[in-house]
Amino acid sequence: MASQTWLVDSARDDGPVGHQKAWIGAEDIETPYYLRSQEEAASASVWAIARHMPRTALPLVRWAWRASPVLTAGTGVVQVLAAAVTAYGLLATSQVFAGLLAITSDPRALVTALPPLGLVVGAAAARGLLEAIARLLLAELTPRIEQLAEEELYDRLLDVELVAFDDPDFTQQVRRSSGQAVFRIRNGVSLLGTLLSSFVTLVAAVATAGLLQPLLMPLILVIGMPQAWATLRGQQAELAAMVALNSDYRRRSVTGRLISERQNAAEVRANTTQRLLIAEHRRISAAITRGAIDLGRRQNRVSTAGRALSAVATGAGYLIVGLLVYVSWLPLALGGTAAIAMQRAAGAFANSIFALNGLFGVGVYVDLFKECLDDLQQRRRSGDGESSCAAPSKIEVCNASFRYPGQPHDALHNVSLSVQRGQVVALVGENGSGKTTLAKLLTGLYLPTSGDVQWDGVSTTTVDPSNLHEHIAVVMQDAVRWPMTAENNVRIGRHDASDANGDRFATATERAGVKPVLEELPEGIGTILSREFQGGRDLSGGQWQRMSVARGLYRDAGVVVADEPTSAMDARAEQSAFMALRQMSTGRERITVLVTHRLANVRRADVIVALAHGAIAEIGTHEELMARRGLYHDLYMIQADAYAT
């Protein structure tokens, strides 16, 4: 969605950089699907919002009930009791006023006012105690709700298809749901408690005023309406601004990470892009700042108008009470009680408006969170998961195509391939040819958009993902750098494996060539491999890749995919790693798939698959493909000439 004109201004010039064009991301992006409910709420009518409120309240109540039925029920009961005590105190107040007013004619009337006064004081004390209990119950309840919501999100997130993370809107939705939405849900339950207490108090005050004089009931309700309208419109303006500035917020988070994160620091300085980055960050921030200022002005105008109208309505209310007393439609003692009831109702109205305003904002995040959970559910494997599989002796790719989310063309198109247990299969080709995509199809990490991939005749779409992935090991070019000990960085490849004597660990680290690295660490295999912790150490890129190879060897799976596993290694370490990966298929125990640009290392592969533009161009051994003098021959000779030079 294009930013509104009142949120956009010219970019600021910052010294010699002073660029006007956008360097980071798109200048504007289409409103993501997860913000459409927020966009609708920004322009909804009052009645539409009122109808939507149960959609916010009911999920919050359900989360609270699931977190703790006892605490949820207790909170509700205590809030209602507190409001009932308030109503009782208001009724007792009228007797106090009657006794006090009678003192002028009979001083002994003071004695008759003391019991009602004691009731008023007791009601106030009881209300204070009940409110304290309610706060205590909410303090126990809300952290449990936050934990429940976060766990539900992460449980579903871990089951989604890997390809979902290639959808930028999905990743942004998850980021907002796991951050702001979870916190807002917790806050929403507290606001719901405030709303319940305030609403019951308001009802009690209105009912008390109605018992005193029926004409006071609509009067009390009218007094709070202007402020409620102003608060609602101010919140809607804020939602509209958030939608309009969505692209700017997203781009500012990118520039912030480029400036502040460790992995970017060296290249930013080496390319002397500091001034460009700060100028870009300032330019984006300036647009957000201008939008925020304009929003504040709009909200202030609406709020001022609401307060002015509310003040006029309050003054009119007191005037009407005075007239009712003057014409004897309301006794003087009850007039004082009515004034207190109006004051109490105004406070309850203000608290209700505060809670409703907060819940209106929370409702957007509740919708976002629910949509995210539904989206996560839909992005799970579509198969029924009834089939099971073992480590395959044969994997067949049958006319399979694959397209990434939001892309106009297939990354792979009508690919067919068969690989056998015991084979080392090398996938080669230029960048963007589809090597990594095909490797992920073979392992079942991706499911084909069309066609099929079968393990021993069983389609990967019908197998439970956890069963399928149990039999794969993946050695990535940019593997996860686990912030844990060096030993656990290897063992996490098969964290539940029994290795009491450490032979499995020793074999994996020895064959991967990582043992010398571990021996040089200050605490050996007990060293934390992360500078985020005191005493932690980091490894070089090549050392991390050796650690990843060791992890794959330790996992000892039936299907092993090594995707550019040696790109950062020196020649000796690279040769050692490839020898270890090839040896994994010795004895025809597993299928090993190598994805690499280093063609000198695939000469001994059993099958070489050369890809171009998402299709298989050639299949064969090194000798066969060199004899054909096709794509593989050309790529191999280019590299051979480069090394010779």
Choice among 275-279, 284-288, 310-314 with the minimum mean pLDDT: 310-314
465 & 482 share domain: no
Does residue 404 register a pLDDT over 70?
yes
Mean pLDDT score, 110-122: 62
pTM attached to this predicted model: 0.68
Q: What is the CATH number of the domain that holds 401?
A: 3.40.50.300
| Same domain assignment for residues 566 and 552 | no
Please provide the size of the chain in residues: 645
CA distances from 329 to 208, 325, 333, 334, 528 (A): 16, 6, 12, 10, 81
pLDDT of res. 112: 56
**Whether residue 482 sits in one domain with residue 466:** no
**pLDDT for position 438:** 95
Could you say which DSSP state residue 630 is in?
Answer: S
Neighbours of 34 (CB within 10 A): 21
483 and 527, same domain (yes or no): yes
**Given this model, what pLDDT does residue 1 score?**
38
Q: Which of residues 379 and 15 earns the better pLDDT score? A: 379
Of 505, 533, 556, the residue that ends a domain is 556
Cα(359)–Cα(54) distance, integer angstroms: 10
**CA-wise closest residue to 11 among 283, 248, 255, 280:** 283
- Exposed e or buried b per residue across 276-315, where buried means at least 16 C-beta atoms within 10 angstroms of its C-beta: bbebbbbbbbbbbeebeebbeebbeebeeebeebbeebbe
Specify the pLDDT at position 69: 93
pLDDT (average), residues 17-22: 49
Range of the domain at 534: 478-556
* Confidence check: pLDDT of 593 > 70: yes
Residues 503 and 621 both lie in one domain? no
**Whether pLDDT at 635 is above 70:** yes
Contact 458, 465 (CB under 8 A): no
Q: Would you place residue 448 in the very low, low, confident or very high pLDDT band (cuts 50, 70, 90)?
A: very high
pLDDT of residue 428: 92
In a domain, 563, yes or no: yes
pLDDT for 315: 77
- Dihedrals phi, psi of 30, to nearest 5 degrees: -65, 145
Round to whole Å and give the CA distance between 35 and 29: 12
Q: Are residues 411 and 528 in the same domain?
A: no
Q: Is residue 239 part of a domain?
A: no
pLDDT for 429 beyond 70? yes
Residue with the bigger pLDDT between 2 and 125: it is 125
pLDDT in tens, 352-376: 777 776 777 787 788 888 888 888 8
**Cα gap 404→165, rounded to integer Å:** 10
Q: What is the pLDDT of residues 294-331, one digit of tens each?
A: 888 887 888 788 778 777 777 777 777 777 777 777 66
Q: Is the pLDDT of residue 576 over 80?
A: no
**Total count of domains within the chain:** 2
Same domain, yes or no, for 510 and 550? yes
What mean pLDDT is predicted for residues 611-621? 93
Kind and range of the H or E run holding 594: strand 591-595
Residue 334 has pLDDT above 70, yes or no: no
pLDDT at 385: 53
The yes-or-no verdict on residue 18 having pLDDT over 50 is no
Give percent above pLDDT 90 in the chain.
15
Alpha helices in 556-630 (DSSP H): 571-583, 622-628
pLDDT grade for 609, boundaries at 50, 70 and 90: very high
Local structure of residue 601 (DSSP, 8 states): G
Mean pLDDT of 172-176: 82
Q: Is the pLDDT of residue 412 over 80?
A: yes
Decide if 428 contacts 610 (C-beta within 8 A): yes
**Residue scoring higher pLDDT (180 or 616):** 616
Q: Specify if 438 maps to a domain.
A: yes
Q: Average pLDDT in the 603-619 region?
A: 91
Cβ distance 23 to 252 under 8 Å? Answer: no
* In a domain? residue 205: no
Confidence of residue 434 (pLDDT cuts 50, 70, 90): very high
Report the C-alpha gap between 105 and 101 in whole angstroms: 8
- Quick one: 533 and 563 in the same domain? no
> To the nearest whole percent, how much of the chain has pLDDT over 70?
77
615 touches 625 (CB < 8 A)? no
CA 402 to CA 445: how far, in whole Å?
Answer: 12
Q: Is residue 171 part of a domain?
A: no
CA nearest 190: which of 79, 86, 83, 87?
A: 79
Q: Are 564 and 552 members of one domain?
A: no
What tokens appear for 533 in the block?
Answer: 């912790």
Q: Is residue 49 part of a domain?
A: no
511 and 456 in a single domain? The answer is no
Among residues 556, 582, 615, the one where a domain terminates is 556
Residues whose CB is less than 8 angstroms from the CB of residue 234 and which lie 6 or more positions away in sequence, other chains included: 298, 299, 302, 303, 357
- Residue 95 banded pLDDT, cuts 50, 70, 90: low
Task: Write the pLDDT tens digit of every residue in 462-511.
Answer: 888 888 888 988 888 788 888 889 999 999 888 888 888 889 999 889 88
> Which of the 8 DSSP states describes residue 392?
-
- Evaluated on CA atoms 339, 341, 347, 352, the torsion sign reads negative
More confident site: 381 or 301: 301
Q: Which residue has the tokens 């942004």?
A: 172
Residue 617 CA: distances (Å) to CA of 139, 271, 436, 613: 64, 38, 16, 9
Predicted confidence at residue 8, as pLDDT, reads 33
First CA to last CA distance, the chain: 53
459, 564: one domain: yes
Report the pLDDT value the prediction gives residue 553, as an integer from 0 to 100. Answer: 87
- Decide if 333 is inside a domain: no
518 with 595, same domain?
Answer: no
The tokens of 51 are what?
Answer: 């109808």
Please tell me whether residue 596 adopts helix, strand or coil conformation: coil
pLDDT at position 17 is 40
- Write out the two tokens for 4: 């509104």
* pLDDT, position 586: 57
In a domain, 421, yes or no: yes
DSSP for 234-301, please give it: HHHHHHHHHHHTHHHHHHHHHHHHHHH-HHHHHHHHHTT-HHHHHHHHHHHHHHHHHHHHHHHHHHHH
Whole-angstrom Cα distance, residue 303 to residue 437? Answer: 55
User: Do the Cβ atoms of 630 and 595 come closer than 8 Å?
Assistant: no
d(CA 292, CA 407): 34
pLDDT at 111: 55
